Amino acid sequence: MDIEKGAISQLQLATLESQGLLRNSSFGTGKSAVLKALEHLGYIQIDTLSIVERAHHHTLWTRVPDYQPSYLEKLVEERNVFEYWFHAASYLPMKDFRYALPQMLNVQQNQSHYYNADPKVMQHVLDVIRNEGPKKARDFENESKKTGSWWSWKPTKLALERLFMQGDLMISKRKGMEKTYDLRERVLPAHIDVTEPTPFEFAEYLVKTYLRAYGFTTLKQITHLKTGGILKKDINEVLQSMLQEKTIQQMDFDGIAPIFVQSDLLERVFDAPPRVQLLSPFDNSVIHRDRIQQIFNFDFRLECYVPKEKRQYGYFCLPILFGNTFIGRVDCKAHRKTKQFELIHLHIENISIVTELWLASFIESVKQFASFNGCTTLLLTKVSPAKFTGIIKKALNKRA
């Protein structure tokens, strides 16, 4: 059992190192570090919720200490990053564009009720953008209100989404959640490979992306929200080949599917600094809930889509990571008008770790995150278990 605990601990440290969460400035600083982080992680999920700073900015801020949202916006405008679908709407490295082609072609060749746009409206949208230049969705909304217009806003919006999903349009820039669309040929750099990958090449891309970003992976993790027997077969073939080459090793634990881990990570000695990090619920490191449950013994679910009366922890909880242990979660809200950052409900779940070990780092992390959210004051509303309320409020007031 001690051997298994040691192996699990090594996996925890290896994946946190691979995710860029063990060391400060793992990817450097500035805009170049943002690109390096995104290319290493493979994708960053785009978040529409703004209770606190949106997840794509939060995830990058966690890894790049001097991160600014403008860095990501500039990388899109400079054509180093593009938007498309990974398992959800995401920012992706432009160098990986060809691996988005299979899904683009699939949308193009198949009718889908999600993107079942009128071909005439699609052609109209393409013609307008081709002749008049990049457009925001609201540009078409305004046009549809003019007298004599034969289209309305809803089918035009659907056409934009379909043209984007099938690769005819790309996002040329974004300001907040407002996207600007342009023709693919005017956005995609000329040097980018647009050869559609074979099914086996696509499987290789997925396997290597997950191993690079996480240090270890499982078949379920790689195929998350991806269907098809051929893909599963090809991924298995890639994994078996890497096992034979000894670049990865297979680890087996009771109740857990086979884990494939990079061999070099099993030999390394990692140091988990005693610091607290507040992670986004959409952070790459926690997005695979089964993986976090099995390896970190942390049961995390995002409850913003759960009816209020059925929520156990809160609307938008941030996992709290201390070293290589998840010690709890905190439901937060940035009140931007009053510049107050509220800890609506702090849940301390791993009470076996002495509070004094993590408390100072937790307060510092909260202060830094509040500042990132444009807030200058902190409000602690509720703590569970309640017995920790006094010591945490005292520490907050001491460092306010």
* Per-residue pLDDT tens listing for the chain (400 residues): 465 888 999 999 999 999 999 988 899 999 999 999 999 999 999 998 899 999 999 999 999 999 999 999 999 999 999 999 998 999 999 999 999 999 999 999 987 777 788 899 999 999 999 999 999 998 987 655 554 454 455 888 899 999 999 999 999 998 888 899 999 999 999 999 999 999 999 999 999 999 999 999 999 999 887 777 899 999 999 999 999 999 999 999 988 999 999 999 998 999 888 999 999 999 999 999 999 999 999 999 999 999 999 999 999 999 999 999 999 999 999 999 999 999 999 999 998 898 999 999 999 999 999 999 999 999 999 999 999 999 999 999 885 5
pLDDT the model gives residue 111: 75
pLDDT the model gives residue 148: 46
CA distances from 125 to 165, 186, 203, 208, 322 (A): 14, 15, 34, 38, 50
Residue 127 lies in a domain: no
Query: Could you tell me the CATH number of the domain that includes residue 302?
Result: 3.40.630
Task: To the nearest 10°, report the CA torsion of 156, 158, 159, 165.
Answer: 150
Residue 343 lies in a domain: yes
**Cα–Cα distance for residue pair 29/323, rounded to 1 Å:** 22
Nearest CA to 11 among 300, 260, 238?
Answer: 260
Residue 312 lies in a domain: yes
Q: Which structure tokens are listed for 329?
A: 């979660």
Cβ neighbours, 10 Å, residue 38? 27
**DSSP E strand stretches across the chain:** 44-45, 81-85, 89-93, 135-136, 169-175, 178-183, 216-217, 248-253, 256-262, 276-278, 317-322, 325-335, 340-348, 377-380, 383-384
Residue 353 lies in a domain: yes
CA 262 to chain centre: 22
Contact 170, 188 (CB under 8 A): yes
Q: Which structure tokens are listed for 356?
A: 């004094």
Supply the range of the domain harboring residue 384.
Answer: 298-398
Residue 92 lies in a domain: no
Residue 78 lies in a domain: no
Q: Helix crossing, 355-372 with 389-398: angle to 10°?
A: 50
pLDDT the model gives residue 105: 94
Residue 33 lies in a domain: no
**Cα–Cα distance for residue pair 328/335, rounded to 1 Å:** 23
The pTM (predicted TM-score) of the whole model is 0.93
Sheet with 135-136: list strands edge to edge. 135-136, 178-183, 169-175
Q: Which structure tokens are listed for 36?
A: 């390096």
Residue 362 lies in a domain: yes
CA distances from 327 to 5, 25, 357 (A): 18, 23, 11
The number of folded domains in the chain is 1
Backbone angles phi, psi at 57, to 5 degrees: -75, -40
Backbone angles phi, psi at 26, to 5 degrees: -55, -30
pLDDT the model gives residue 400: 57
pLDDT the model gives residue 176: 81
Name 336's Cβ contacts closer than 8 Å, sequence gap at least 6. Answer: 373, 374, 375
Backbone angles phi, psi at 288, to 5 degrees: -95, 95
pLDDT the model gives residue 63: 97
Contact 212, 18 (CB under 8 A): yes
Cβ neighbours, 10 Å, residue 2? 6
